[in-house]
Structure 1
Amino acid sequence: MNCRISLLFIFLLVFHFSHAQIDPDESKNHIILKWSPLSLFDIDNTVQLGLEVPVNDKFTIQQDIGYGHSGFNVWYADYENRPDIGTIKSRTQLRYYFYAKPRFRSYLAGEYLFKRVVRQETKWVGMDCVDNGGCSYFSYKNVKQGKFVNALHAKIGWQFYFSNRTSLDLFVGFGLRKARIRTLTKGVGNVDFDNGWDWWINANNNDPQIIPSVSTGFHLGFALGRFKKKED
């Protein structure tokens, strides 16, 4: 009961602040809580939240953290048995705002992305295998395979501020990413998961690939903290 009252209080508090009229130009001086809706529809889906923290009038640091699971991945909606895949994603971004108008700013940014995707499945696998493909024996066990991605992006973006504390952040970026796939279960050789997705095929299990990378989308933001009362 106390939990429900607390949740109701938080909802009413957020509702009150989101409808209170403030000077939108002041939002740039506040920490902004960000949500990335499109990350829910990514192949490696996550619920992604972030904070943009101002350093001075020109620079900010934004840190995004996301977690997702194949249980709520729209790409597996037609699968009778969804695979067990969990994703952790981190984006660290340094922004430089080079152009500003009331309610609007443009920025350049450098971003580092780290992503860890782990799939697990219980199946027959070879144990203590050697390079020529021979295995000492087979065991029916839970095995895990991980995909690890590191990427660097250069971005340009446009952020709009509104008088109810909200903001809209549009961006596009290009860069390079390196992806490595490896088996995480000790004693198990290379494992192929037959799920139809090419990025889980591990023919080059120990050969990380560097490929071009594109990052585009938008954030919905909510400015935190106390604002000065808007004068009529």
Structure 2
Amino acid sequence: MIRFRLLLIIGLLTRFSTSALAQVPYVAGPDTLRIRSLERGPHWVVSVAPLSFFDLENTFTVGVERLLAGRHSLLAEVGYGPRALNIWRPGRVNESGGKETWRGRAEWRIYLGSGSHMKRPPHTRVVAVRPMGRYVAFDLFYKQVNSFETGTMGRACEDGTCQYYQQFRSPVRKSVWAGHVKLGHQRFLDVSPDSRLLIDVYIGLGLRQRTISHDEESLPDDAGQRWVSSGGFNNGLDYLFTPNVSTGFRIGYAF
């Protein structure tokens, strides 16, 4: 009888403890949440383009890539470079009175891998990388450089003879449009097992159109021939259409 009562009490306690544990809600720990986030894979990539800072018309450039379903993604990039950021021609910029550079890029990517999962050696953790790896891209690029040109112009010119000459300062703008077909590779940097740092390397071929616009309205009506001394763009052609090569790399963070 005593043995039966002990077994009955143990059974009741076991059932009670099991019911109590079942009613306690499960709260995922930080490590569990991190692993789940990694397994879901990134949806956005924020990146910087270091080489644009060392361009002759340099800018600080930031890009945002949206990873879409399947193997596709869209990238938007914007950059700005004021006069103080130019590290190559500070003296010349100061003479011309001011200069700024804007640039932008829109890009559509098609990743060539399966876009599902990969293992990062030497680690065995499976991390979603939707999508990542080698890709083909089509981009549209625009750059605008605003500056001032200074020099000397003839005044009161009739029959090829000018009465006198005067210094002038006038706005000038360079606009660049370009389109490229590119090959690239974007991969994780293996600095840690769950690193979200990326490097993106690319090269592409395309066409480039450059136009230089002078602000004629800021000059007097009787202005004659002008001799530009600074601030303008060296190539005397106001319109140029040429082949173009686009190459570089980005450092990004996926989330």
State the TM-score, normalized to the length of structure 1: 0.71
State the superposition RMSD in angstroms.
3.4
Q: Report what 1:146 is aligned to.
A: 173
| Letter of the 1:114 counterpart | Y
Kept in 2, the 8 Å contact 1:193–1:200? The answer is no
Q: Take 1:129 and 1:149, find their aligned partners in 2: how far apart are those partners? A: 34
Does the alignment pair 1:106 with 2:134? Answer: yes
- How far apart are 1:142 and its partner, in Å? 3.6
Kept in 1, the 8 Å contact 2:150–2:229? The answer is no
Kept in 2, the 8 Å contact 1:86–1:117? The answer is yes
Structure 2 vs 1, CA of residues 125 and 171 (structure 1 numbering), >3 Å: closer, same or farther? same
Q: Report what 1:229 is aligned to.
A: none
Q: Report what 2:12 is aligned to.
A: none
- How far apart are 1:223 and its partner, in Å? 2.1
Q: Report what 1:68 is aligned to.
A: 81
Note the residue ranges of structure 2 that are not aligned, 5 or more in a row. Answer: 1-33, 119-128
- How far apart are 1:71 and its partner, in Å? 2.4
Deviations 1:186-215 (A, max 9, x none): 2437866445x9x8136333xx21111111
Q: Take 1:216 and 1:136, find their aligned partners in 2: how far apart are those partners? A: 51
Q: Take 1:176 and 1:24, find their aligned partners in 2: how far apart are those partners? A: 40
Note the residue ranges of structure 1 that are not aligned, 5 or more in a row. Answer: 1-19, 225-232
Structure 2 vs 1, CA of residues 134 and 174 (structure 1 numbering), >3 Å: closer, same or farther? farther
Does the alignment pair 1:221 with 2:249? Answer: no
Deviations 1:79-128 (A, max 9, x none): 69464221110111000001256265110000101111111155544579
Kept in 1, the 8 Å contact 2:149–2:229? The answer is no
Does the alignment pair 1:200 with 2:236? Answer: no
| More relative contact order, 1 or 2 (CA 8 Å, 6+ apart) | 1
Q: Percent identity, please.
A: 27
Kept in 1, the 8 Å contact 2:49–2:61? The answer is yes
Q: Report what 2:64 is aligned to.
A: 51
Does the alignment pair 1:42 with 2:55? Answer: yes
Kept in 1, the 8 Å contact 2:152–2:228? The answer is no
Does the alignment pair 1:160 with 2:175? Answer: no
Q: Take 2:44 and 2:160, find their aligned partners in 1: how far apart are those partners? A: 54
Q: Report what 2:5 is aligned to.
A: none
Kept in 1, the 8 Å contact 2:150–2:170? The answer is yes
Of 96, 100, 125, 1:86 maps to: 100
Q: Which has the larger radius of gyration?
A: 2
- Number of equivalenced pairs: 198
Describe the SS at the equivalent of 1:40.
helix
Q: Take 2:82 and 2:66, find their aligned partners in 1: how far apart are those partners? A: 28
Kept in 2, the 8 Å contact 1:24–1:164? The answer is no
Does the alignment pair 1:32 with 2:59? Answer: no
Q: Take 2:173 and 2:61, find their aligned partners in 1: how far apart are those partners? A: 20
Q: Take 1:113 and 1:133, find their aligned partners in 2: how far apart are those partners? A: 43
